[in-house]
Amino acid sequence: MSDFQTVCKLSELREGEGKTIAVGKKMIALFLVNGEPHAIEDMCPHMGASLAGGYFDNGVITCPWHAWRFRVTDGTWVDNPRVKISCYAIRVVDSNVQIQLTKPTAEKIP
Ligand code: FES
């Protein structure tokens, strides 16, 4: 049984921009890097800003509030690689972007 769920069309994502989606009670930020989608937790672990609204360049999202930076491919906090935010398995099926929320590939480290 697959627990991937469709969250949007690939055509809705743009290089250089984040997109916030709600999946159940979770807010997820989607990004496109060289045509490949990536999904991370949308809420910044510092004070809760939406990461999808930050400055996105070269695979790194910079939080719009205080400039913490996270790599969208694996959730790593660029300035302190021991800390990661959740990122999620993602795939494209028939131009639908699907994510798997049950198994984040990285967890927050307090
Ligand atoms: S809320 Fe993101 S860096 Fe402060």
pLDDT at position 101 is 84
Query: pLDDT, tens digit, for every residue of 35-76?
Result: 999 999 999 999 999 999 999 999 999 999 999 999 999 999
CATH number, position 30: 2.102.10.10
The domain total for the chain is 1
Distance, CA of 12 to chain centre: 15
Q: Kindly report the protein residue whose alpha carbon is nearest to atom 1 of ligand 1.
A: 47
Q: Tell me, yes or no, whether 92 lies in a domain.
A: yes
Q: Tell me, yes or no, whether 91 lies in a domain.
A: yes
pLDDT at position 105 is 67
Distance, CA of 54 to chain centre: 12
Query: pLDDT, tens digit, for every residue of 11-28?
Result: 999 999 999 999 988 999
Q: Kindly report the protein residue whose alpha carbon is nearest to atom 3 of ligand 1.
A: 66
pLDDT at position 110 is 43
